[in-house]
Amino acid sequence: MNEAPLLSIESLQVHFRTPEGVNRAVDGVSFAIGAGETLAIVGESGCGKSVTSMSILRLLPEPPAAIAGKIRFQGTNLLDLSDREMRKIRGNDISVIFQEPMTSLNPVLTVGRQIGETLRLHQGLSRAQAEERAVEMLTLVGIPEPKRRVREYPHQLSGGMRQRVMIAIALACSPKLLIADEPTTALDVTIQAQILDLMRDLKRRVGAAIMLITHDLGVVAEVADRVVVMYAGRKVEEASVVDLFRNPRHPYTRGLMGAVPRLGAAEHGETGRLAEIPGMVPSLKSRIEGCVFAGRCPQVAEICRKAAPALEEKGPSHLAACHFAPKDALAA
């Protein structure tokens, strides 16, 4: 990226103090997102994806959380801001779409009221102006009969419509960065496709950068420009979406891709059995010596258990943290 990134995270650490010890949920993660770019953060449950997104919004209570590093948004370190200053940014410059709209929406407030609250808080609109804007937002996200729906409650809407309402709330103040935390997890496949189409369309029209948190590589392939792969609280690979799918360098990334079912695999002579990554994610309550993936890696060697691999450029703008990741001649 030639120009300064919209969001830059440098050596982010998020540790939680628990009775059993310190849980290193995020341990030294760095990445950046440019204006209008879609960055996907992938990995299995417990790898630190959602904790990273909650840290950006400063939604983790301190204590028990202890956050270190730098989170720069438009050049300002968000960790230096007061709670009052952060409230001006949340929902205004940075918005979030949570994965379960039924628990994120207030069941006793109408849809229009919930969209309007954001607009009245950040943009000072009157109740009538906020309702008018809420109708516009419901139209934007493709909800039919928006003037009627704006007076309905979340339980009166389908799962797909509730997720569209969440997107409408997130986009109401025209944010520069949209954090989407597993936005399609609770939806059936048909509705998932509609939500992904909607996000792509809105990105073109609104121009917001998107940070997509997901474990679904199919979603990543559909919407992302670049991908960060996380494992056990650390970044293990980063590349453009095309390069990552064409040439994954880290064994964990290859394991994730091997576990994805492919249509027509049997017709091409491939076995019907999906590959699996053996073992479990290591406990983050104790310091891990060597590579975090060593206990589950099919190509583990003695050096992997003793020395943590550096995150190195293995190809053009393609980083991986593995002693044995193939390296392009130009990057050597």
> What are the residue boundaries of the structural domains of the chain, listed by start?
1-93+176-193+205-260+276-283, 102-174
**Which regions of 74-182 does DSSP assign to beta strands (E)?**
76-77, 94-97, 177-181
The mean pLDDT of 198-204, rounded to a whole number, is: 78
State residue 165 phi and psi, 5-degree precision: -65, -40
Q: What are phi and psi of 292, to 5 degrees?
A: -65, -20
Of 7-11, 23-27, 112-116, give the range with the top mean pLDDT. Answer: 7-11
How many Å separate Cα 305 from the centre of its chain? 29
Over residues 228-254, the mean pLDDT reads 94
Judged against a pLDDT cut of 70, whether residue 263 lies above it is answered with no
Q: Cα–Cα distances in Å, from 48 out to 88, 147, 192?
A: 26, 40, 23
pLDDT of residue 329: 59
Over residues 63-76, the mean pLDDT reads 92
pLDDT above 70: residue 69: yes
- So what's the pLDDT on residue 279? 81
Which of these CATH numbers, 3.20.20.70, 2.60.40.420, 3.40.50.300, 3.40.1260.10, describes 1-93+176-193+205-260+276-283? 3.40.50.300
In sequence order, the β-bridge partners of residue 7 are: 33, 73
Whether the ω angle into residue 316 lies within 30 degrees of 0, i.e. cis, is no
Nearest CA to 211 among 46, 65, 30, 49?
49
Return the beta strands (E) in 83-233 as ranges.
94-97, 177-181, 209-214, 226-231
Determine which of 18-32, 79-93, 266-280 has the lowest per-residue pLDDT on average: 266-280
* Ramachandran class of 313: left when φ > 0, alpha when ψ lies in -120 to 50, beta otherwise: beta
Q: Torsion angle, CA of 126/132/135/136, rounded to 10 degrees?
A: -110
C-alpha separations of 100 from 149, 170, 185, 189, 234 in Å: 20, 14, 8, 16, 26
Q: What is the pTM of this model?
A: 0.86
Q: Which residue has the higher pLDDT, 38 or 331?
A: 38
Q: Report the alpha-carbon distance of residue 175 to residue 152 in Å, rounded.
A: 25
